[in-house]
Structure formats: structure tokens, C-alpha cells
Chain A
Amino acid sequence: MMVSYYKRALQDLLDHRYLNAVTIITIALSILIASAFVLFFVNANEIIGSWKEGIRMMVYLKPSVPETVLSELKQQFQDMQTVQSSKFIPKEDALANLRSQMRRQTSVFENLRENPLPDAFEIRLIPSYQNVEKIESFAKKIESNPAVAEVEYGQRWLGQFSNVINLFRLAGYALVGLFCLAALFIVANTSRLILYSRQDEIEVMRLVGATDGFIKAPFYIQGLIQGALGGIVGLIALFIVYSLISSNVGQGFADGILRIRFFSPQLSIGIVFSSMLVGWIGCFLSLKQFLKS
């Protein structure tokens, strides 16, 4: 019984290869664009979320700062009300860390005669200290110390662009909605075309006593398969784009201040399921209209 449903569904997919390929590509594109936005927000949210735990700042020092200045700086950080904790990271540790993160590209390190990385302090601010301007001026104050080369924190640019991000978010919601709708229409249209091409066959099925459920089942299976394939292809495309971006741009943040991450397996599965849901609803809409007559 079930086997014959799948057989009919696959037969339809094969008989209408071109149509189905176009449908799946459309779904894949929609998923690609929609989930690109979701990915952006997941990462942005994570960074904004870390705000809540207190901001992490990296204070990079100038080369060969004397021991006394180091302990002076450490004391200075500890005395500050806004600093929750501070930790000294010597450049040897930083290099070891980098090595283990980039184990595949060991050749990069082989020719190093000396450590190019600076010593650094890692500072965590108290969680309540969140005002963008105050944090910025705090960073400036530390930067003015002659031993300090640079202060970096991931939220620096994010803070400056928070308005842009909000705008982005709105546009993102609209686009995600729009693309889901587009995918829905395409699926509905495809199954309508296939339905029309099977009109005589469906009529015969009805006359020999087939229930609507029996007639509909293969179409739903098709919709689910289209949705699943579209979702998977879309996610793979997004992953390729993500890999390209994170291997080029992401290296700059390899010190761990800002790491772009891909979807968790759970969220990826969730996205494929949503895509299948779109396929199912698309089928539902066209079947509802078609079998009424």
C-alpha cells in the first residue's frame, strides 16, 4: 500500500523531471536566501547575547613591555569597578592556541623564527556595563596607555552598526516571508500542472473506487520530497558560501573574539523540515482546489 504510494510519487517526479528540477531549485534558492538571513541573525544574536555576560575585550600590548609595567597594568585593571576579571595571555600561549586552531595549515608556522603575536590581556567587563558610548570611551582610555598597542572587542563594530542591523532584521523578515511565499506558489503550481496531466487517470481511479486519500497521498509525498531536496540543496549552497566567507574573512577573527558559526545540526534539520512543510502546504493548496471539482 505505502510502497505503491512511493512508487507513484517517484514515477511522477521522473515523468516531470524538468518541472520538478525547476521547483526544487526554486525552493533551494528560497531556502538559501531565507536561511542566510537566519544565519546572520543567529550570529548577531549570539554576539549581542554575549553582551549580557559582560563584554570580552582583548588588550594587545606593544612588543617587549617590561615585567614591572605588566604587573602595574594588571593591578590597574583589577582596581577598575567595571572590570569583572582580567587574565594575562603571554604571546607563547597565543601562538600555541593559534597552532592548535589551524592544525591543517602547520606549514604557515614552520618558517617562523620568532613569535609575531603580541602579549595580551583578556578583560571581561561586568554584565551591567553595556552602554555603547561608555564602553567605547573605556576602550579609548586603555588605548591611551603607552604600553597598549590596541584594544579589540567584537561588539565594537556591532555597536556602531546596531541601527543598520535593526533595519537589516526588518528587511530580513520581509524577504524570508517573501521567499517562503514564492516557494509555496511554485510548489502549488507544479503539483497543479502534474494534477492536470493526470486528470484522466485520477478520474479512472475515482471510478474504480479509490478514495481521495489514496489519490492524494503520492502528491503529498512528492511535495515532501521536493521540500526536503530543496531544503538540503539550499543548505549545502549556504554552507559552501559560509565556508568561503569564514575561511577568508573569518581568519581575521581567529583569535576567538568573533567567530561566525554555521547552524547547529538541530537547526539545520529544522530548516529542512520547514522546507518540507512548505512543500506539503503547497500540495495541500492545489489539491484542495483541484479535487473539489
Chain B
Amino acid sequence: MTEPREKDAIIRIFRVHKRYPGKHALVDITLDISRNDILFINGPSGAGKTTLLKLLYLGEPVSDGQILVDGMNLSRIPKKRIPFLRRKFGIIFQDYKLIPTKSVFENIALVLEASGKKRRLIRKKVKSVLRTVGMEERIDSFPPSLSGGEQQRVAVARAVIGDPKIIIADEPTGNLDVESAGIILDLLTAFHSRGTTLLIATHDKDLVRKTGGRVIHLKEGRLIMDVTNPLRTEAVNPTKN
């Protein structure tokens, strides 16, 4: 099982440490993530889930160890190339990070503008993505006037519009009711089935149960469990350790 995975790994993490001032947030993490995988990162609050994801798109520098993303070695990447690394990712941030002073349209269009796409194409694409997430009527609204679930859907739209190779979702259902969470999850898995690698940080075990996939469990910065297809192994309960 591990053999083909290593061969076609889109992300390789090797002996990675992350230290914040006065805090050892990640301890000796080694992990390969296959292309077109769904990976759930589980663990209690403060375990280091967000930190691990941040390292992948250089939202934070690694303290120690090596990370390769789609053939790019993050420790060797020149500052000028960082935007191109980030364009491989579509990121749904834990706090959404929508720009409150820009409309839904502008927020999403920004991704395409930044990569130099033509205006006509941008308008068309933004509309179609908003239709996919069911937010086409709010195209001219501003984020503060949207509910949490609606903002989350806009965040999803922004994450997927650039056709990224990897989608990162940090607590994509964190503050949502069951129904909204279901919609978001369906959206994400739809993109996964088109060939995108999906990384989801969550402490919601229901999410994992619904879709299946690979689950890793972090605790106090350490990787303590790595299970594929937890659906079938009902016995696996990552919370007890």
C-alpha cells in the first residue's frame, strides 16, 4: 500500500519540525501525500493542524526538515517563486480570510487577476463557480453581510477557481450546522473526484466517516496515527490514545 503512494507523492514531508518562539508546534513529522488523495488531519485544538498546512504553502517557514510540493523543494525556493508555489493550492482558511471591503465577485476574481487572466474570462468563470456553490445571487454582496455558511461557500469558490492541484481546507465545517457542513463537504469531494488532492484539517470525526479516505492524527505536534479508510475499521477511534 505504501509503495505506490511514495512513487506518486505530490507532497513529501521529511523530519519536519516547527518551532514558534517558546512553542514546539510540530515535532519530527514525516509524511507522504499521494496525488488525488483525500487526507484528513485530525487532532484536538492546538495540536498543530493549521501549522502543518501553513508550512506547505510557506505561510510559515519550516524550522527543520524538508518539504517537497509537486517537485518544488520549499527550502530552496527563491522568494520570487513563492507566488507560483501558492498557485498550486486552493486554500480555505480557518478564518475564511475574505476581504470585507470587496464584493464576493472581487474576492474571487482576485485569484485570477493575480495570475494575469483576461477580464472576460474572469467574469465568466467567477459566475460559474458561484453557481456551483449556490451563491450566484450574492455576487455583489460584501462578506460581512453573509452568514458564516455563506462566507464558507465563498471561501470554497475562491479556493477552487484557479483549478489548483491541491485544495487545503482548514476546519471547513467548523462553525456550520449539519446541513451547511454537508453542502461544503459535497462540494469538496466533487472537486476531489475531478483529480484534485484534498487536505482537510478538522476535529469533526463525522466528516471522516462520511467520505472515507486517509486520516492522520496529530497530538501536541506529533503524528501519532495514520490510517487509511477508517470507514471500514470502525474500531479506530483517534480520540483515545
Contact = CB atoms under 8 A, between A and B. Distances in A.
A209 B119 contact: no
A170 interface: no
A77 interface: no
Interface stretch (B2-10, B83-91, B217-225): B83-91
Interface in B146-172: 158, 162
Interface string A120-138: 0000000000000000000
A215 to B, nearest CB: 9
B56 to A, nearest CB: 12
Given A3-B119, A4-B119, A208 B99 contact: no
A207 B93 CA distance: 10
A114 interface: no
Contacts of B83: 206, 209-211
Contacts of B116: 1
A208 B93 CA distance: 11
B66 to A, nearest CB: 22
A262 B118 CA distance: 46
B114 A214 contact: yes
Contacts of B80: 211
A200 B114 CA distance: 16
B119 A208 contact: no
Interface in B47-81: 57, 59, 80
Interface of B: 57, 59, 80, 83-84, 86-87, 89, 91, 93, 97-99, 101-102, 110-111, 113-116, 118-119, 158, 162
Given A201-B101, A207-B86, A207-B91, 8 more contacts: A1-B116, A200-B97, A203-B97, A204-B97, A206-B83, A207-B57, A207-B97, A208-B111
A-B pairs, 6 with minimum CB distance: A210-B114, A209-B87, A209-B86, A209-B83, A211-B83, A208-B111
10 contacts: A4-B113, A204-B97, A205-B114, A208-B86, A208-B91, A208-B111, A209-B87, A209-B162, A210-B83, A211-B83
